Chains A and B, each alone.
Chain A
Amino acid sequence: MRIALFVTCLADGLFPDVGRATVQLLERLGHEVVFPDRQTCCGQMHTNTGYQREALPLVRHHVETFEAYDVVVAPSGSCVGSVRHQHAMVASRAGDESLAMRAASVAERTYELSELLVDVLGVEDVGAHFPHRVTYHPTCHSLRMLRVEDKPLRLLRAVRGIDLVELPDADQCCGFGGTFSVKNADTSTAMLADKMRHVLDTGAEVVSAGDSSCLMHIGGGLSRLRSGTRTLHLAEILASTDDQPAVRS
């Protein structure tokens, strides 16, 4: 299958390993990955902070960039949530109904990584090898906007060598929330503290998730505490093999 990668601005600029892992994983499974290089950002930060007027050009640009492709994948529940649940709304509120229809059409063809693997490509065992103790944070937008349910966990359970441990209160938000983490930094940190406590309680070496943004938050807190637990995106674990183990450069 020919799959267009929407790498997301955060992975592009700050976590390129996540994009690379997504490409390697899909190619290993025998698919063709293309990278439409005009892509930038879905505009979620603007929309969720109240700047819908500023989000509009980003929505238009995203639709123009991706409408030529049949299948689009992003290694982010949050960005896919924005494409699926906000793009048409932003266009529609700005009075551009034709853009709203085009955005809805792109949204129908856009999948979060675990959705693409399990629902579209019909695979749970991706042939990965990752001999480490891992706990998984399901992320709010994957859980409650996209309803990916246990797809990421099904993928992880099939990884050879993995010691997957359950995260207590897993469905609780890590406190990131985009600009919430800055506007309400104290409350955000209080939420993060509980998330980190649960992560550390599992004794995991690695905390994984399907969103670089949540991982940036959890990882930022764990790093500040010198906790010794590292973060890896779901894609990085699934891309990991005997020959090419996941490493963060």
Chain B
Amino acid sequence: MSTFLGIPVYAPRGVGQLRTEEPFPAAARKALGDAQLRRNIGHATKTIREKRLRVVSEVPDWEELRVAGQQIKAATMARLDEHLERLEREVTARGGVVHWARDANEANTIVTRLVQATGETEVVKVKSMVTQEIGLNEALETAGITAYETDLAELIVQLAGDKPSHILVPAIHRNRAEIREIFLREMGRYGLPAPPDLTDDPRELAMAARAHLRRKFLTAKVGISGANFGVSDTGTLVVVESEGNGRMCLTLPETLITVMGIEKVVPTWRDLEVFLQLLPRSSTGERMNPYTSTWTGVTASDGPQSFHLVLLDNGRTAALADEVGREVLHCIKCSACMNVCPVYERTGGHAYGSVYPGPIGAVLSPQLTGVEDNASLPYASSLCGACFDACPVRIDIPALLVHLRAKHVEERRSASRVPTAEAVTMAAASWVMADPKRFAAAEKASRAGRLLARGTGRIRSLPPPLSAWTSSRDLPAPPAETFREWWARTRGPAR
């Protein structure tokens, strides 16, 4: 047993994007009614799913790689403090400056001050989940600093004043026609406008974004990024991407500020090698991603001459303190679980509220904020298990969902002495089912349900909460004879 000192700090309220604004069922209901969104996401997830299956099936030792990834993560988390201190030492020794941020507010303050110290009012950004988690763009805006997203899909989302709905392809809910409209309407307000004769041809759309972004890259003095990995052995940061826009931000500005969640550390380059095989095949369904940028501190007269690394907790230590739930920190943000999830495929990402949607979001967000603040998310799954099979580091997401449900029920129990209707029902069902006599009696009593079927064999309407079932599905009427009655009648006394 390890001794735990101090109270784990959850991600604070009122900053960033980790909490649902309305419970998942209500948000999902709205999304389910959006035919365009259903079609866009259904099409996109199916495409990525099939690509991923193809490239994964050609790796003969894929299962061994998954196990290696799982074990490296587990071993790293067990000594996370040591690895982080090593990372700090190595980054510092190579000319970088390391900052520690307890939560979103601290991280936003640190980054804002660093930008202000340069005297700049514009920054270019590499696509990053962590800066969205903490609401960095909004914090910078409050300080009069404009942050430009440079990832193509993030640019679409930002121009539309929208929110990302997927961690890898944040504009997955948009189609080409919608993107064309957004470019025509919005680009001119932030820089080079889109050509007036722009069509919805993907190449034309990409060229418009390229021209628009090129001006930003060439003028920006400050770049901000997240990190896919931080190798503690050498103090090297790693960003994996497809477009090369990230590399522009990482190499052209004078100052580079990287915000990294503390769980992103890997001890050595040998460990990194495993993840660089697992990540692209799982995320974009590619054998290898086009751009992998690595940088170590500051290199004289090459690239940014000032480098800052902000190490962010924001609830991660709280997740680490949960012996079961800590597995969520193994996530390498590949998004494979979203693309295979039958719930995500139908509701899209916005229904999850947090910047981390899908199965992994349903177990990550509640652990960063405390279950109470995202109580509906652990239930947003049919526990079908497709996410576990797709996860490149074998996170047992269904087991974590069940664990968080139990945590939620226990927290509710200790918060109020008055049990919920559900808790009363569950306790009663347990009391009945723990005893064969009571169970058989309950079966007999339920035969009254035959009346509801009015001789049709089907029950079409039930009172709440079961009305949620009969709203779209019939229920069979209880049979005239249960199995155990049949057995007793035909086989005599049991056993």
Contact = CB atoms under 8 A, between A and B. Distances in A.
| A-B complex is real | yes
Nearest to B442: A13
A105 interface: no
Interface string B438-477: 0100010010000000000010100001101101111110
Contacts of A53: 410
A45 B405 contact: no
Given A13-B482, A16-B482, A40-B439, A51 B409 contact: yes
Interface string B301-342: 000000000000000000000000000000000000000001
Interface in B385-435: 385-386, 388-389, 402, 405-410, 422-423, 426-427, 429-430, 433-435
B381 A37 contact: no
Interface string A1-45: 000000101011111110110010000000000111111110101
Interface stretch (A96-104, A109-117, A151-159, A170-178): A170-178
Contact of A184 (B379, B472, B482, B485): B379
A208 interface: no
B12 interface: no
Interface in B13-34: 24-25, 28-29, 32
A48 B398 CA distance: 9
Nearest to B474: A223
Contacts of B24: 184
Interface band, chain B: 35 or more
A186 B382 contact: no
B473 A20 contact: no
A165 interface: no
A214 to B, nearest CB: 10
Interface in A170-215: 171-173, 175-192
Nearest to B432: A40
Contacts of A40: 433-436, 439
B23 to A, nearest CB: 10
A187 B483 contact: no
Interface band, chain A: 35 or more
A50 B346 CA distance: 25
Contact of A249 (B389, B410, B479): B479
A190 B346 contact: yes
Nearest to B26: A186
A37 B466 contact: no
A54 B430 contact: yes
A46 B435 CA distance: 16
Contacts of B494: 34-37
B270 interface: no
A57 interface: yes
Contacts of B386: 140, 144, 171-173
4 nearest A-B residue pairs (beta carbon): A177-B382, A220-B473, A50-B405, A144-B385
Interface of B: 24-25, 28-29, 32, 342-343, 346-347, 378-386, 388-389, 402, 405-410, 422-423, 426-427, 429-430, 433-436, 439, 443, 446, 458, 460, 465-466, 468-469, 471-476, 478-488, 491, 494-495
29 contacts: A9-B439, A13-B443, A13-B446, A16-B479, A16-B482, A16-B483, A16-B485, A37-B436, A47-B406, A48-B405, A50-B402, A50-B409, A50-B410, A51-B409, A51-B423, A93-B406, A140-B383, A141-B385, A144-B389, A175-B342, A177-B383, A181-B382, A181-B469, A186-B28, A187-B347, A191-B382, A192-B472, A223-B473, A224-B460
